[in-house]
Structure 1
Amino acid sequence: MDSIVLLGTGCPSPSHERFGPSTLVTSGNQNILIDAGSGVTQRLSEHGLKPSAIDIILITHLHSDHIVDLYQLYISGWHSGRTKPFKLVGPRGIEKFFNKTMEAYDDELSLRIEWEKRPNKAGLEIEIIEINEEFTFDDQDIKIKSIEVQHQPVEPAYGYEFLVKNKKVTYSGDTKYSKNLENASKNAEYLIHEVFVDLNFDDKRMTQDTLKNVREYHSTPEDVGKLAQAANVKNLVLNHFVPPVFDEEGLRNEISKYYDGKIIVGSDLDVFNL
């Protein structure tokens, strides 16, 4: 069944309820993964999907919480029977990052290959596409287009637009208010959007500059609500919460001041059928 699955809705702060950011979009025979946050393979297992079933991994940007489990996806996908290349799409720099990761694991991987003698060597191949101006994918079941968003000084950063049997789904990635995202999300069935809820000041782990700078490159509840309203989206799914523990009803009420559509406070393993 065509669906969206929120595998991880958390942020860099650890949470046993909200794992690192990762979302699965499934249509027909295509399983597309967005980001590879901490715990993604466990959440895939809970959802009932082997890592070997993933066709493409789309990376939004190179912050650690979005890429930390890429190698785990690579090795566990091979272990679970992947017979096609590990396909990775992302911003400039993703190839360097993954090559360095593979270099760090080279001795370990070489030993596994030699000792375990698994039959599916094609599953060890790697295909990486760095987005230049725009990434597009066109399949009979799903169409994908990258959206450049605003997460400076982390750049480039991307969201993604999906068209699944004439239903549009947009995914924000990490961004402050993005006009590109607003335009891409016009009349979308689902907009999946990050939100900076709030941070309580703690001088043991932050400065006032920490609060200011973290807030500046994320979207506030007001930003999210106004964008969803301007784009006339049918369903707003909140995701990638900073921090991971917050007043859910309060957040919903705040956003409803600016957006009159359906607001869903996403949780790990939520499924939305298309």
Structure 2
Amino acid sequence: MLDLALLGCGGGMPIPDRFLSSLLMNYRGRKILIDCGEGTQVSMKMLGWGFKSIDIICITHIHGDHIVGLPGLLSTIGNSGREEVLTIIGPEGIKEVISGLRTIVPYLPYNINIIENPKNSLKIRLIKNSMEILKEYSNDFMESRSLKNFRIKKETNIDECEDYNDILNCDIEISTLELEHSSPCIGYKFYINRKPKFSLEKAERNNVPKSLWSKLQNGENIIYEGIKYNPNMVMGKGRRGIKLSYITDTRPIDSIVEFIKSSDLFICEGTYGYDEDLHKAIKNKHMTFREAAKLAIRGNVSELMLTHFSPSMMEPENFKQNAIEVFPNTVIGKDRFIKTLCFKE
């Protein structure tokens, strides 16, 4: 399962009881942070979610309400005792910005790996005390070869199973999409892979020694007594994982629809609740609640969570109807809102 904490759901400037944009993901004890607006650390402290285990920080764009909390957070992560490399992913220009912010926190006990505007999907594997980026693949490759779609023919040559083994070892896939905002901005899609079940029938049919079953389930290729064994010889069909999409700040461009398709949760900006504020949304390159809901229904997502509310909108709940008229399964985000996404059978 995947645990989520919406640390801040404000846009522009913080107001009482509403910090700026930030979302924290916790999967098997390792964390990914999306954006780091003012108040991020405060919400984390209030929830009791630790800092040391943040392995990846994803920045949508380099406007202040999404990034000014970063220097303090980097310092706190260092003070928590982290020594492993921390990865920061962001849009064009993120390397220069991080370099500038480092003048405030020049001494950190860990290195920072910066990935700027990735064009390919990133494959992540959970290892002891960190997350490891395995490889980059094109978005098309990952969409077609991930476990939800990947199938091995019944008669498969063992030497042709490298792709299957690669996917078996991948825990999380991160993809990005360029958005339409007043500065370079990217949306994020996270796919949490679910490993296939062990198949006793396949293991016995392929005459795999019992002593190798455990290692093969962990994705290892083995040569034993001169015979090659691979995970596909003991694993069943692929199972659907968990898909989370995060889109802010942008106009509702068509490319978003395919990007968020069939997401279990679609977290989207809803800067303006009033339908009458559409002209502001167009001018400032943001969205209304209704526009976000239209993307949700076109993308056939399971649930929509709205966030990034204008500071002029004191009670976002008052405008919820504008979204649920289009997409009924809509939730209005709140600071420190906790949600768990579970694997489906």
Instruction: Give the TM-score of the pair, scaled to structure 2.
Output: 0.66
The answer (yes or no) to whether the contact 1:13–1:244 under 8 Å persists in 2 is no
Specify the alignment match of 1:207 in structure 2. none
The answer (yes or no) to whether the contact 1:175–1:217 under 8 Å persists in 2 is yes
Q: Aligned pair in 2 of structure 1 residues 270, 131: CA closer, same or farther (>3 Å)?
A: same
- 1:196-249 deviation per Cα after TM superposition (whole angstroms, max 9, x unaligned): 2259xxxxxxxxxxx747754001122111111111111110111113643434
The answer (yes or no) to whether the contact 2:15–2:311 under 8 Å persists in 1 is no
1:254 has 2:254 as partner: no
2:186 pairs, out of 148, 158, 161, with 158
Q: Offset of 1:14 from its aligned partner?
A: 2.1
The answer (yes or no) to whether the contact 1:92–1:132 under 8 Å persists in 2 is no
Q: Which consecutive segments of 4 or more residues in structure 1 shift more than 3 A?
A: 211-216, 244-250
1-structure distance, mates of 2:330, 2:262: 15
Q: Offset of 1:46 from its aligned partner?
A: 1.6
Specify the alignment match of 1:208 in structure 2. none
Q: Aligned pair in 2 of structure 1 residues 172, 244: CA closer, same or farther (>3 Å)?
A: farther
The answer (yes or no) to whether the contact 1:5–1:272 under 8 Å persists in 2 is yes
Specify the alignment match of 2:202 in structure 1. none
Q: Aligned pair in 2 of structure 1 residues 53, 244: CA closer, same or farther (>3 Å)?
A: farther
Moved more, 211-220 or 35-44: 211-220
- 1:3-31 deviation per Cα after TM superposition (whole angstroms, max 9, x unaligned): 11101111122212111100011212431
2-structure distance, mates of 1:47, 1:163: 25
- Name the SS of the counterpart of 1:57 in structure 2: strand
The answer (yes or no) to whether the contact 2:38–2:65 under 8 Å persists in 1 is yes
Moved more, 126-135 or 242-251: 242-251
Stretches of structure 1 that go unaligned for 5 or more consecutive residues are 110-120, 200-210
Specify the alignment match of 1:141 in structure 2. 171
Specify the alignment match of 1:184 in structure 2. 259
Specify the alignment match of 1:33 in structure 2. 33
The answer (yes or no) to whether the contact 1:8–1:23 under 8 Å persists in 2 is yes
2-structure distance, mates of 1:173, 1:76: 26
Q: Which is higher, the Rg of structure 1 or of structure 2? A: 2
- 1:161-176 correspondence runs (5 A): 161-164=189-192, 165=194, 166-176=241-251
- 1:102-141 correspondence runs (5 A): 102-106=102-106, 109=107, 123-139=109-125, 140-141=170-171
The answer (yes or no) to whether the contact 1:198–1:243 under 8 Å persists in 2 is no
**Length, aligned pairs only:** 246
Specify the alignment match of 2:83 in structure 1. 83
The answer (yes or no) to whether the contact 1:18–1:244 under 8 Å persists in 2 is no
1-structure distance, mates of 2:317, 2:38: 26
2-structure distance, mates of 1:167, 1:236: 15
Q: What RMSD over aligned residues (CA atoms) do the two structures have, in Å?
A: 2.1
- Name the SS of the counterpart of 2:307 in structure 1: strand
- Name the SS of the counterpart of 1:124 in structure 2: coil
Specify the alignment match of 1:230 in structure 2. 298
Q: Aligned pair in 2 of structure 1 residues 249, 78: CA closer, same or farther (>3 Å)?
A: closer
Instruction: Give the TM-score of the pair, scaled to structure 1.
Output: 0.83
- Name the SS of the counterpart of 1:255 in structure 2: helix
- Name the SS of the counterpart of 1:162 in structure 2: strand
Q: Offset of 1:185 from its aligned partner?
A: 1.3
Q: Offset of 1:184 from its aligned partner?
A: 1.5
- 1:154-204 deviation per Cα after TM superposition (whole angstroms, max 9, x unaligned): 12x1111111241111000211102222111112110001112259xxxxx
Question: Once the two structures are aligned, what percentage of the paired residues are identical?
Answer: 30
2:330 pairs, out of 235, 251, 263, with 263
Q: Offset of 1:77 from its aligned partner?
A: 0.4
